[in-house]
Structure formats: structure tokens, C-alpha cells
Structure 1
Amino acid sequence: MECAVRSRHPTVNCPVAVSRIMRPDDANIAGNVHGGTILKMIEEAGAIISTRHCNSQNGERSVAVLARVERTDFLTPMLIGEVAHVSAEITYTSKHSVEVQVTVMGENILNGVKRVTNRATLWYVPLSADNVHSVVKVPPLQYSSPEQEEEGRKRYEAQKLNRSESKQRNATIIFPTINVDRKSKEPCTVGYSQSSLIHLVGPSDCTLHNFLQGGVTMKLMDEVAGIVAARHCKTNIVTASVDAINFHQKIEKGSVINVSGRMIFTSNKSMEIEVVVDVDHVLKSPQESAHSVTAFFTYVSLGKDGTALPIPTLKIETEDEKKRFEEGRERYLQAKARRTGEVTKKCQ
């Protein structure tokens, strides 16, 4: 759905909607749609509305690129044959960034029943259509109240700080090379399930600037995380949530990316997988490999009846694995406390 009129100062009430029926190639062998498929649709809707907003006034033309995705929860699985409705709305703008909030609904087109499956918040930065290294100023947004603008400003400052801290933290991470002889590894260890995927960035993966689309990156990350989870559990697994995803650098067409995943933490009913995207600029002179994207994916294991199964306990072998396990436990407890608080608010 498009706005019929482009005002000089666009308002928050100008959503974008994208719908698509879920087909067999969108799902795993159990018939659940891959979380990466939904993440890709979420990013596409966000890119459309952000780019449209950034070109809503006379000025330099630009293309909005993904900079960050806040924590995304997968409330219920999307199924094959259902229609995914993705609606995006701009809720805040700073001088050089756009906040987009996205809601995903699954519709059973046989009976018309709809349910919310995902909610996500994304941040985009507009880059000049003529000069990819130039960030364009974002047109102002008209808010319904001063309170709404102030709340948006607080979210902007919080994500800016978190993104900066994440970049500094990831600069010191040395992710292990994925070259595992699985026969020599004991099941349920980090080394047994860790996995990687190598992908050549082609034209169909890219934006108008010839850089890798954020949605394509997230889909590949979810695929690797899913392989790690399946190797660990040997059962049907589904994405439960994704921690904040930070995009630290642009990935050019023709680059080779290495998407690596390893198990970090397990509780009784969930598991956390760290996923890192490293870039090899094969067409340029040799340089240090750098982490381009980082995130933590949480998965659950499901039985044939759709109920959650216990997760095999992760076997810790090194001090580094122990440290990461404790960090994962802290994130798990924080997420659990947040969910408890949300339920309490709904019941009041």
C-alpha cells in the first residue's frame, strides 16, 4: 500500500505493505518457514519505505541501506501455504538515519485467520545514488506528539551506543576456523556442531549500489545458525529470536563472504548460536579479514506435535567456551526477565 500523496513533511501514517505466499522452497523439511526468509522480507519492506522517505523531497537522490536490526522475536512459526503480510512504518528520523518498525502477520487463506508472527525494529542510513561514500541528509518526520519524538530520540541514542560498543567488542574476537572432522569430535561439543558457509556475492544479491542486501545477509546467517542447531539437537529446529544485528561495513559485489556459526549457550528449552560474517575482498589487494556482520540467534527444538523438546547440554571444553557460555547465560536471563515483564504488563 502506497501513500496517495507525498507531502513535503511526510508523516508516520504512511506504511508500506509486502505480501507473499510461503512456498515449499521457503521452508525446512518439517514444513516450517525458515527464519531467514522472514528476515529477508522484513528488510525488503524496511528498505522500500526508508528509500521512499529519503527521496520524498527535492534534493540528492539516495538509497537507504541497513545499518542495524534490533532484537527480533519469532512469536509463532510461519507455515507453507500461508500468506506472510509484512507492514513497515517509519517511527523516527535523525539527521542521517531512519527508524522503521515492522510487523509480520501470517494468514491462513483457507479460513482467513491471521496472527502476528514477528515484530522488528530496523535502522537505515541513506547513501547518495551517485556517491556511495556520501551519506545524505534525511527529510524530517512530522510526529503526532512531542512525546513520540522524544521516545524515538531515546531509542536512537540507545542503539547508537550499543552499535559503537558492539563494533569495539567484535574487533577483538578471533572466530575459530571452521575445518572440523566431525568423526573425531564428541557430539554436543562446540566443535562438533560449528559450521560455515562460503558465498560469492553476485548481482542478484545486491542493492542498486552493488552492495550485498542486508536481507540476503540475514538469510544466509539464519541458514548457518539452523545447521548448527540441527547438528546439536538432531531434531526439527526453528528460529525463536535474533539478538541485535549490527552491519559494520558494506560488502561489495564480487566479494566472498564466510558465514560462520557456533553454539554458545544452551538452556533446557533453547540454544544460542553466534554467527559472524567475514569478508574477503578477492578483487582487491590483500588486507585483513574483518567482521562485517555479527549476531546471536536463539533456536528451539520441536517434536512432531510441535511441542518444545529438551535441548542437549552443551559440553564445554575450553576457558574461552566457558566465558562465552556465561555471557550467553546472561543474555538468556535478561531475555527471560524482559518476557516476564511484558506478560505482567499485559495482565495488569
Structure 2
Amino acid sequence: MDCKEGADQVDKTVAVMEKHRSESQQICRDLCKDGGDGSKLGPTFQLSRVMLPDDANIMGNVHGGIILKMIEEAGSIVGTRHCNTQNGDRCLAALVRVEKTEFLSPVFIGEVVHVSAVITYTSQHSLEVQVKVIAENILTGEKKLANKAALWYVPCSLQNVDKITEVPPIEYASPEQEEEGRKRYESQKIERLETKARLEEAMPPPPNPEDTPKERYTVGFSQSSLIHLVGPSDCTLDDFVYGGVTMKLMDEVAGIVAARHCNTNIVTASVDAINFHRKIKKGCVVTVTGRLTFVSNRSMEIEVLVDADPLVEKEKGKYRAVSAFFTFISLDKENKPLNVPPLKIEGEEEQKRFEEGKARYLQNKAKRLAEKERQQ
């Protein structure tokens, strides 16, 4: 190859890279320009990152926790920026709830993930951020919608973390858009209070499997816990844990439970509302526990609970910090769904949780069918 041919090849490569970069930027602009009805929404933020081997399981599927962490990062940045546009205390947007989120398409190593966040509603002391995740194959240019989520934040003062500051209002395209946002706000507020009211005490650690061997396909066989010491890299400027860090740990534990139950490749299918009940501070030891609650033919519901135990302020005692339900599916080597082994129930408590999980499963199934009919 002579110099001219080499220069031409370089020019072609640069042109392709510029084309992909331009398309990626356009993806994010398109995602944030409207709310699905053509109406302009509030402040926006976009981030993009290529998925690396550390982000995925041994089959190449990117962990759901990685996507959840990126979603929370984008939401926290746009929320914090917006809440600091007015005079007064500087603040950080703290995550208090993630609405049910569906993992619509699997993401693989080498794909570029574009996360776009937009503020869609503000109350006096909280704001809603809606996020869309697009996965792009940079070799073919193919793009797919991987995830959609809605998150709720409250602005916490940097001077006094227990003080919730006021949220600057946003402009709505119409009164109807504002009213829809208000309804979502009232609904999530009620659900958060109901969830908090039925919180259990901090869970005891699961027994050592070697001491009390469990039968396969029981709740006890797959129940798993992860213990993590909260360090500086896990925390915000005011020394409290990022919501995305917690969600990543929760997804990891839920994945271990699912893998132990079916002994196959597993992926996150959806997450019911994640409620952040209390803050977790630097220096706490967090115990993330996951247990199966319900199994259908093709899916597993796993309850994940996060308990925090302060190392220094021991007098405060161990407390429940976060709770959620994760749904996983089992896949074969071609990423096609497999049947899940049935769950063997032991005792009244497990039966009660199973029936509650079944009710959630049927409710979510009915919602999906209704949404599908509406789109048709």
C-alpha cells in the first residue's frame, strides 16, 4: 500500500467514526426532544459508554445492575443540576424510588449504551426523571431500545443532609401534561408509604449450607447474601451511598439466587418498584439478601432486601434501607427462554409470599397485554 492509499484508508476510517459519533449524538437528542406526544419536556442529560467484559456475565450478557447504575447516574446528574439553578443551599438529588422498569432487549459486550434522562414532573420537594436506554451495535449501526425507567429524587442540602430543599418548577407543554405528572406523583407517594409501613425487621443471615443442607429448588437452597463495606468510592459528596451502587449490588445478589435455582444463564427481565427507605452512610456494613418468592413457567421473582449496620454509630442499630422485587428469566446458549424449575414451598410464610408474588405476576401480565392491545 502506497502513501496515497494509506491516506485514503485513514480518511475513510475517520469518516465512519465521525458518522457513528454523529448518529450517537442524534440518538440522544431524539430521545429527549419530546415525551412521546411531541411535547417539549424539562431539563435533559445524556451519557454514553461502551460495554466491556467486566460489565457482563460469562455468556456476554451485560448485567442488569450495570444498566440500573447508569440510569441512576444520569438521573442524579440532571436532577442535581436542575435543583441548583436557583439561589439558596447547594444540594444533591437523592434517589428515593425507581418505578417498575422493563429490560426490553439484552445488551452485549462491545455495544455502546446511550442513556438519556429528562425531568418530567416537579413537586415542591421532589422531581420525576424519565430515562431511556438505547444500545447500539457500532459495527452495524443497529440500535435497539434496551430499557425505560422512571425515578424519583429529593434534593438534600449539602449543609444539612436531613434538610430537603425546594425544587425549581419546570414548564409544561400543557395543563394535561402537568396533571398526568401530578397523578404519578400522588400514586408513587402512596405506594412508598404503604411499602414502608409493612417493612420487616432486618433479616438474620442465612444458615451455612454445610451445616443445614437444603433440598434443591427450595427457597433456602438458593437464598443468598452479599456483605459490603461502604467506602468513599461508593458515596456522594455528602458521604451517602449512590442509589446506583446499591441497585448494582441488589441485581448481583438476585442473579446469584436465580442462577442457583435453575443452574443456567440468567438475565434480569424487570424490576418492580425499588424503594429507598433510609440513607446508607459511608462506613456502614450493608447486607444484601435475596430470596425466591414466586416462580412461573418462564420467570423467577426474587425479593431483595438491603440492611445497613453502622460500624461507628452502633447505637443506631441495624435497619432496613432498600427493598425491591427483581424478575429474572433463564436462557439457553442462543439466548432463548427456557422453562424454570418449579419452586418447592416450605411453610406458611413461604406460601404467603408465593401467593403475593403470583398476584403481582398476574397483575403485571395483564398490564402488558393491555398495553400491547392499546398500541395495536
Shorter chain as denominator, the TM-score bin is over 0.9
Contact 2:116 2:133 in 1 (8 A): yes
- The answer for the alignment partner of 2:206 in structure 1 is 178
Q: Deviations over 1:306-332 (max 9, x none)?
A: 110000000001110000000000000
Other-structure match for 2:14: none
Does the CA contact (< 8 Å) of 1:180 and 1:191 recur in 2? no
Query: What secondary structure is seen at the aligned counterpart in 2 of 1:272?
Result: strand
Residue in 1 that maps onto 2:115: 86
1:122 aligns with 2:151: yes
Uncovered stretches (5+) of structure 1, i.e. residues with no partner: 4-10
More divergent stretch after superposition (54-63 vs 139-148): 54-63
Matched-pair contact (CA < 8 Å) for 1:180–1:192: no
Amino acid at match of 1:198: I
- Matched to 2:107, the amino acid is M
TM-score normalised per structure 1: 0.95
1:189 to 200, 204, 218: 218
1:274 alignment partner in structure 2: 303
What CA deviation, in whole Å up to 9, does each residue of 1:36-91 have, x standing for no partner?
00000000000000000001122221111101000010001110000000000000
Q: Kindly, what percent of the aligned residue pairs are identical?
A: 62
- Name which of structure 1's ranges 182-191 and 93-102 shifts more when overlaid on structure 2: 182-191
Does 1:312 find its partner at 2:341?
yes
Superposition RMSD on alpha carbons, in Å? Answer: 1.5
Would you say 1:254 and 2:318 are equivalent positions?
Answer: no
Query: Is 1:162 paired with 2:191?
Result: yes
The letter of the residue matching 1:63 is: L
Q: How many residues are paired up?
A: 339
Relative to structure 1, the CA distance from residue 167 to residue 13 in structure 2 (aligned partners, 3 Å threshold; closer, same or farther) is closer
Match in the other structure for 1:241 = 270
- Taking the aligned partners of 2:182 and 2:366, their CA distance within structure 1 comes to 25
1:14: which partner in 2? 43
Instruction: Provide, for residues 225-274 of structure 1, a one-character-per-residue CA deviation record: whole Å limited to 9, x for no partner.
Output: 00000000000000000000000111000110000000111000000000
Q: 1:30, 1:190 → 2: CA distance? A: 25
Q: Is the 8 A contact 2:98 2:149 kept in 1?
A: yes
SS of the counterpart of 1:286?
helix
Deviation at 1:223, TM superposition (A): 0.1
1:55 aligns with 2:105: no
Name the counterpart of 1:6: none
Alignment partner of 1:43 is 2:87: no
Mapped partners of 1:141, 1:126: distance in 2: 15
TM (normalized to structure 2)?
Answer: 0.88
Matches within 5 A, 1:288-327: 288-327=317-356
Looking at structure 2, the residues matched to 17 and 345 of structure 1 have their Cα atoms a distance apart, in angstroms, of 30
Q: CA deviation at 1:336?
A: 0.4
The whole-number CA distance in structure 2 between the counterparts of 1:49 and 1:14 is 7
Q: Which has the larger radius of gyration?
A: 2
Quick one: distance in 1 between partners of 2:277 and 2:373?
36
Secondary structure at 1:163's aligned position in 2?
A: helix
Q: Helix, strand or coil: the match of 2:108?
A: coil
Cα deviations across residues 197-244 of structure 1 (Å, max 9, x unaligned)? 000000000011100000000000000000000000000000000000
| Conserved 8 A contact 2:61-2:108 | yes
1:13 deviates by 4.2
Question: 4+ residue runs of structure 1 moved beyond 4 angstroms?
Answer: none
- 2:201–2:319 contact (8 Å) kept in structure 1: no
Larger helix proportion of the pair: 2
Paired AA for residue 203 in structure 2: F
- AA aligned opposite 2:170: L
Task: Tell me the equivalent position of 1:74.
Answer: 103
Which 5+ residue runs of structure 2 have no aligned equivalent? 1-24, 30-39
